[in-house]
């Protein structure tokens, strides 16, 4: 059994975790330290950035916490949250923690059955819902969740005629809190003082790629240890700016906005809407950013589209500057000495090209850029390092509070995830699976003892179900989920996500699904990028009316055929994609094709689109698909579409 070694961090950790330390206690210390002198957070509302000091943070948390107590909240009660990233959401979560309650988050776009499952399974007594849409979901499920007592709403838009006795506004709860404080003036800080590090902090429901979501129980000690050790590797200044735009239901966002935010004391900024975060990044110019691979992929696509639309001289300038950038990035990755003239060439390229690109993306001031949740493709990773961005891959899982392994500043490799963070041990088992031991490892799954016993091994080791290897420099290579690793026709192993990421490096591909396990050859189901391919078609004078029609136009099939040829040229022959179809739509979480964190649910896809897979492995040139689609309001409709099977030439 191989064991990865932790790289020695800076001499002193940013905080010492004791048995009686909790998130609210650390938060309270920061509120007392900064008071009204420093912004704890900002929110963009009506086009203006509204700041909130640490004193504002304290007052809002205190009033909401005591309001919950006035409503009958007890220590250990569970509160469900659903909505966008906003200061009110963070205040409410911290208020619940201060009262000794346990927050659990739902994704804002969760369907009714998903909301019902988590609220019912967790036994939540209260639901904190942002606005009308989330309130409607709560009212819809209440008959099947009898333990749910109150729905607390914050955004008044659309709520004018809602008078159900189950509903109460956020402001009303705060007013009840101020009244409660007059009767119990010392209660708030007394509740905070009672907390212990081993108390349950959060229940995080996993994305459910193969089965029903499982509620991972994380303690205050888990969350603080994770924040401490990540800051130990990458110290973040209290003056740093961070943009919070990923769903709060994702452990990665909690890792940054909450754990690191209260330990480091940096300012958390909330966009007007998650969909416009790219504009807000440019306005804020953050020094720290954490994002899912899909957002970095979207940035690469936008750059490639602008490159394709540029003039001849601009394209040639881009190509030369990026060639220099790639050259230096590769030398750093391979730890080769870099001569003065290559450094000079890179700085010249930076002034001409890279700086402008990073400025356009809003990334120029970034000191630490992180990606996690799924591997970012090596092509995309290399692209950002060519621009000079200090992008790092994070490896972890919800059950270890989000992180166990990360790249180091001076030792980044495109196809690895780096070294274990301090206080974390990582081993590769005899079956090549990744095991972790850390103070960040969760207590178990809520109400699921059998599942807990499968994941928590003797000695406290966490079983990841990921296949991994250690390279010659001691880096961890996370190959793929063990159940997803493909055994190809020649007996070699391959990770489908590696091939998918290479396809997605093209601006014309939004998503891809690669199949080939124990099959005669590898095939792919490609989702074109509607905006990019649409502009390409318009430039060619090719008419179309919809995504399904655009995806099947012969010229578009040829466009993706050329892409697959280029991808195949860089792959071993056994990994060559022999056939593909352009899918009639994009993959959607609402259709159960993706998890809420945008991971492919491969088992579901295999079952639902069996006809497509069978067609790709037959002699047919055309696949007729009869299936269903789910609309946002829950309606289901049956649709029929035809898709051309594209076969690669023998040498492709």
Query: CATH number for the domain including 323?
Result: 3.40.50.12780
CA-wise closest residue to 518 among 485, 486, 543, 546: 486
Q: State residue 3's pLDDT score.
A: 83
DSSP state of 376: P
SS (H, E, C) 566-625: HHHHCCCHHHCEEEEEECCCCCCCCCCCECCCCCECHHHHHHHCHHHHHHHCCCCCEEEE
Output the pLDDT for position 281.
87
478 and 489: one domain? no
| 478 in the same domain as 491 | no
Q: Encoding tokens for residue 260?
A: 């690191």
Looking at the structure, tell me whether residues 118 and 140 fall in a common domain.
Answer: yes
Question: b/e per residue, 82-100, with b = 16+ CB within 10 A?
Answer: bbbbbbbbbbbbbbbbbbb
3-class SS string, 393-449 = EEECCHHHCCCCEECECCECCCCCCEEECCCCEEEECCCCEEEEECCCCCCEECCCH
pLDDT of residue 11: 75
Domain that holds residue 373: 291-483
36 and 147 in contact (C-beta within 8 Å)? Answer: no
Could you read off the pLDDT of 604-639 as tens digits, one per residue?
A: 899 989 999 999 999 999 998 887 766 656 677 777
Give CA–CA dist 27/403, Å, rounded: 21
Judging by DSSP bridges, how do beta strands 636-644 and 622-630 pair with one another? antiparallel
**How many residues in total does the chain contain?**
652
Residues 532 and 388 in one domain: no
Mean pLDDT of the chain, nearest integer: 92
Whether residue 77 is found in the same domain as residue 57: yes
In a domain? residue 17? no
Are 182 and 39 in a shared domain?
yes
Question: Which of 262, 283, 307 is the last residue before a domain boundary?
Answer: 262
- Cα(590)–Cα(599) distance, rounded to whole angstroms? 13
Say yes or no: 426 and 557 in one domain: no
Q: Which residue has the tokens 């943009």?
A: 243
pTM: 0.90
Residue reference for tokens 């998650």:
274
Sheet holding 102-106, edge to edge: 102-106, 78-82, 126-129, 150-153, 167-169
Q: Is there a single domain that holds both residue 84 and residue 42?
A: yes
Pick from 441, 468, 483: which residue ends a domain? 483
Assess contact for 81 and 104: CB atoms under 8 A: yes
Residue 491 counted as domain residue: yes
pLDDT, position 597: 78
Tokens of 291: 């994002």
| Residues 537, 526 share a domain | yes
Q: Assess whether 402 and 550 both reside in one domain.
A: no
The total of structural domains in the chain comes to 3
Question: Is 58 a member of any domain?
Answer: yes
* In a domain? residue 249: no
Residue 598, pLDDT score = 81
Same structural domain, 464 and 364: yes
Residues 296 and 430 in one domain: yes
The dihedrals phi and psi of 634, each to the nearest 5 degrees, come to 95, -10
Q: Take residue 127 and report the two structure tokens written for it.
A: 């639901």
CA Rg, the chain, in Å? Answer: 25
Residue reference for tokens 């959060």: 202
Q: What would the pLDDT profile of 210-242 be if each residue is shown by its tens digit?
A: 567 899 999 999 999 999 999 999 999 999 999
Q: Is residue 423 part of a domain?
A: yes
Are residues 627 and 639 in contact, defined by beta-carbon separation less than 8 angstroms?
yes
* H or E, element range at 521: none
Regions of the chain short of the pLDDT cut 50: none
Q: Does residue 12 form part of some domain?
A: no
Domain boundary among 483, 509, 538: 483
CATH number at residue 604: 3.30.300.30
At 622 the pLDDT is 94
Q: Torsions phi, psi of 571, nearest 5?
A: -120, 150
384 within domain boundaries? yes
Q: 283 in a domain, yes or no? A: no
């Amino acid at each position: 059994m191989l064991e990865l070694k932790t790289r020695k961090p800076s001499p002193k950790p940013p905080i010492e975790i004791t048995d009686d330390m909790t998130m609210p206690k650390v938060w309270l210390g920061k509120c007392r330290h900064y008071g009204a002198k420093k912004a704890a957070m900002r929110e963009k509302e009506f086009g203006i950035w509204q700041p909130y000091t640490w004193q504002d943070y304290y007052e809002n948390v205190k009033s909401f916490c005591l309001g919950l107590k006035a409503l009958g909240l007890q220590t250990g009660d569970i509160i469900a949250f659903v909505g966008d990233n906003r200061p009110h959401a963070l205040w409410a979560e911290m208020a619940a923690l201060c009262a000794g309650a346990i927050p659990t988050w739902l994704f804002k776009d969760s369907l009714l059955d998903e909301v019902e499952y988590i609220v019912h399974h967790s036994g939540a007594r209260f639901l904190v819902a942002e606005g009308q849409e989330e309130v409607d979901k709560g009212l819809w499920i209440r008959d099947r969740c009898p333990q749910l007592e109150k729905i607390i709403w914050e955004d008044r838009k659309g709520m004018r005629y809602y008078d159900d006795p189950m509903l109460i506004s956020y402001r009303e709860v705060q007013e009840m809190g101020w009244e409660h404080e007059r009767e119990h003036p010392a209660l708030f800080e007394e509740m905070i003082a009672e907390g212990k590090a081993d108390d349950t902090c959060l229940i995080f429901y996993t994305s459910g790629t193969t089965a029903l979501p499982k509620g991972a129980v994380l303690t205050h000690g888990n969350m603080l240890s994770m924040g401490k050790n990540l800051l130990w590797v990458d110290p973040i200044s209290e003056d740093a700016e961070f943009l919070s735009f990923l769903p709060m239901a994702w452990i990665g966002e909690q890792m940054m906005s909450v754990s690191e935010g209260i330990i480091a004391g940096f300012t958390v900024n909330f966009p007007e809407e998650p969909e416009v975060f790219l504009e807000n990044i440019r306005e804020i110019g953050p020094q720290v950013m954490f994002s899912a691979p899909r957002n970095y992929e979207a940035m690469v696509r936008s750059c490639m589209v602008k490159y394709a639309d540029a003039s001849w001289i601009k394209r040639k300038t881009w190509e030369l500057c990026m060639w220099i950038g790639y050259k230096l990035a590769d030398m750093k990755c391979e730890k080769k000495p870099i001569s003065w003239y290559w450094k000079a060439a890179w700085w010249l390229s930076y002034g001409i090209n890279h700086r402008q690109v990073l400025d356009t993306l809003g990334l120029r001031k970034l000191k630490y850029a992180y990606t996690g949740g799924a591997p970012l493709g090596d092509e995309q990773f290399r692209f950002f390092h060519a621009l000079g961005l200090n992008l790092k891959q994070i490896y972890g899982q919800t059950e270890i509070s989000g992180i166990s392994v990360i790249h180091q500043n001076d030792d980044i490799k495109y196809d690895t995830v780096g070294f274990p963070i301090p206080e974390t041990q990582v081993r590769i088992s005899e079956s090549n699976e990744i095991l972790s031991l850390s103070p960040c490892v969760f207590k178990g799954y809520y109400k699921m003892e059998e599942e807990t016993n499968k994941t928590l091994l003797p000695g406290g080791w966490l079983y990841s179900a990921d296949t991994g290897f250690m390279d010659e420099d001691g880096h961890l290579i996370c190959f793929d989920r063990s159940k997803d690793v493909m055994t190809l026709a020649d007996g070699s192993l391959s990770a489908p996500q590696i091939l998918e990421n290479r396809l997605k490096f093209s601006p014309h591909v939004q998503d891809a699904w690669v199949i080939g396990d124990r099959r005669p050859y590898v095939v792919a189901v490609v989702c074109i990028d509607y905006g990019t391919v649409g502009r390409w078609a318009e430039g060619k004078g090719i008419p179309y009316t919809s995504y399904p029609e655009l995806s099947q136009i012969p010229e578009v099939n040829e466009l993706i055929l050329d892409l697959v040829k280029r991808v195949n040229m860089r792959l071993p022959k056994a990994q060559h994609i022999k056939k593909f179809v352009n899918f009639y739509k994009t993959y959607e979480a609402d259709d159960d094709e993706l998890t809420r964190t945008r991971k492919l649910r491969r088992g579901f896809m295999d079952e639902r689109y069996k006809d497509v897979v069978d067609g790709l492995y037959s002699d047919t040139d055309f696949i007729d698909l009869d299936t269903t689609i789910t609309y946002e309001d829950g309606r289901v409709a049956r649709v029929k579409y035809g898709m051309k099977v594209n076969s690669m030439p023998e040498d492709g």
